[in-house]
Amino acid sequence: MELTVASSVSLALLVLSTAYVLVAARKSRSSSKPRRLPPSPPGWPVIGHLHLMSGMPHHVLAELARTMRAPLFRMRLGSVPAVVISKPDLARAALTTNDAALASRPHLLSGQFLSFGCSDVTFAPAGPYHRMARRVVVSELLSARRVATYGAVRVKELRRLLAHLTKNTSPATPVDLSECFLNLANDVLCRVAFGRRFPHGEGDKLGAVLAEAQDLFAGFTIGDFFPELEPVASTVTGLRRRLKKCLADLREVCDEIVDEHISGNRQRIPGDRDEDFVDVLLRVQKSPDLEVPLTDDNLKALVLDMFVAGTDTTFATLEWVMTELVRHPRILNKAQEEVWRVVGDKGFVEESDLGELHYMRAIIKETFRLHPAVPLLVPRESVAPCVLGGYDIPAKTRVFINTFAMGRDPEIWDNPLEYSPERFENAGGEIDLKDPDYKLLPFGGGRRGCPGYTFALATVQVSLASLLYHFEWALPAGVRAEDVNLDESFGLATRKKEALFVAVRKSDAYQFKGEELNEV
């Protein structure tokens, strides 16, 4: 009788699991000195606690930490040891005292393929290349001066969105604000990374390739948790074939973009004079002072890293902010009154106004607390043994920091499930990585903290202020605050599961007066 595809895969997985058990049994016979390891919940044979990582793992792990009363606990994800941190003091210890010991990343199959050999900043292992790549990103691509020069791009793309809303919306027709934010984030990052806005057909191609890459990054990969079974596991499941196809598509798109920059044949948007990411990296690539050579594949990996990370976090943050504002009209009205008072009759928001919008910045902080874009941060991996909370953490252990759990912990926050920006009103206006208490970690911290947080924040703040200044916002007619679905979609960034539809009306006093921009 002929085997179906499903039964073939099941049989293969059974064989692979048996092989793993034999390998694990051989390893377990090797002796090691006793260690004081963190507590661990009961696990299953072979897979350990891998079942906990399906669905919304940050919710499951937060509840597990609560019921175990274990701010630090141990898991076995297949054959991979891991620990989960759910308290600020342990997060501080991981990101400061033990930052060097926890400086690496797990070797993931998707990163090996789609980050051109794990050569982006996110997935590169600790070592000379990562130090060099991060230094290039921080000093050349995302320095304070360069982030400021990208202000013109942010304003121009934001004006396109404002013009679209002014022209095409009415209170009777709800607007898909999720789609608006995704387009805005993509357009800003395309301009900054590649120097031009992509025409419809080419943009669709790029979007399709990036969407496939994001699915693969966020998907389940057997070999990431049973390294002993690679490359057989990914071949049997068909994953390796998908990864190779996606890599070929990414390479084709990136080669075309880089070739245009080298040849000088690309179309610049009128008025653009500043270097984009590709320009900068092509210039840096020629520097004789690099600690490690920057190859063409490294260049592609760095540009894609900035693009994918920037679009996802910006889009998700704006979506969650506006979701909470339309659910809480009092907070929305208070934020609008602040923007109108600060900006006045100028007719538009300038980035120089943002420092005076203290309540709006508190709103963003409160959104980071309840809806972190990356709730488990990007996992780290220990390169050497260390001690956390009095427990031994062996080398090659994956470390998850559950910022979702910390943001909803009643021992840390009063009324943690209540959306209340007022809790941050007197806590200072800056939104950065320097929370001395480590209670709020939207961008991680230490040597693996997000290097692009200032760029993402600039886009989020000027966009939110402009939307509050020019428009009146509400839930669609007949929709109550409790009707809004707050379920999440877990991926590279945690978005709303359902798109956000809102009623929008042009502000009587501060209507947007600009015209829609249609440059190539």
For residue 261, give Cα distances in angstroms to 30, 222, 256, 297, 344: 55, 39, 9, 15, 42
**Residue type for 479, please?**
V
CA gap 305, 455 in Å, rounded: 14
Report the candidate in 30, 84, 78 with the shortest Cα–Cα distance to residue 61. 84
388, containing H or E segment:
strand 386-388
Helix (H) / strand (E) containing 98: none
Flag whether 246 is marked binding. Answer: no
Separation CA 211–CA 149 (nearest Å) = 29
CA distance 442 to 373: 7
Q: Do 358 and 429 form a contact (C-beta atoms < 8 A)?
A: yes
Using CA atoms, how far apart are residues 435 and 445, in angstroms rounded to an integer? 10
User: Per the omega criterion (within 30 degrees of 0), is the bond before 45 cis?
Assistant: no
Cα separation, 286 vs 351, in Å, equals 34
Residue 432 is given by DSSP the state S
CB 256 within 8 A of CB 175: no
- Which residues line the annotated binding site for heme? 450
- Which residues line the annotated binding site? 450
